Amino acid sequence: MMGFLLWCVLLVLCWPLALLALVLWPVVWLVSLPFRLVGITFGALFALLKALLYLPARVLGWRPAAHAT
């Protein structure tokens, strides 16, 4: 919603730039899509590594201590 409101303000202040942003937004989204997929892949890889590293401790019944507040 905030992005739409900012675009409306841009439309009022500088309509050619707002229309250019409206036309180029799908192109920017398509270009950034592979980077987001790589980010998701690395996040899953690190989660898998963390699970593998903590597996022996979980099998032995280790529980993390509660944070003291």
**Position 54, amino acid:** Y
pLDDT in tens, 25-61: 999 999 999 999 999 999 999 999 999 999 988 888 8
Q: Is residue 69 part of a domain?
A: no
Note the pLDDT of residue 66.
67
Residue 67 has pLDDT above 90, yes or no: no
Residue 2 has pLDDT above 70, yes or no: yes
Q: Is residue 24 part of a domain?
A: yes
Query: 45 lies in which domain range?
Result: 2-59
55 close to 48: Cβ distance less than 8 angstroms? no
Q: Indicate the pTM of the whole model.
A: 0.56
Q: Where are the alpha helices (DSSP H) in the chain?
A: 2-13, 15-59
Q: Is residue 45 part of a domain?
A: yes
Our count of domains for the chain comes to 1
Q: How long, in residues, is the chain?
A: 69
Classify burial at 18, counting beta carbons within 10 Å of its beta carbon; exposed 0-12, middle 13-18, buried 19 or more: middle
Q: Is residue 30 part of a domain?
A: yes
Q: What is the CA radius of gyration of the chain?
A: 23
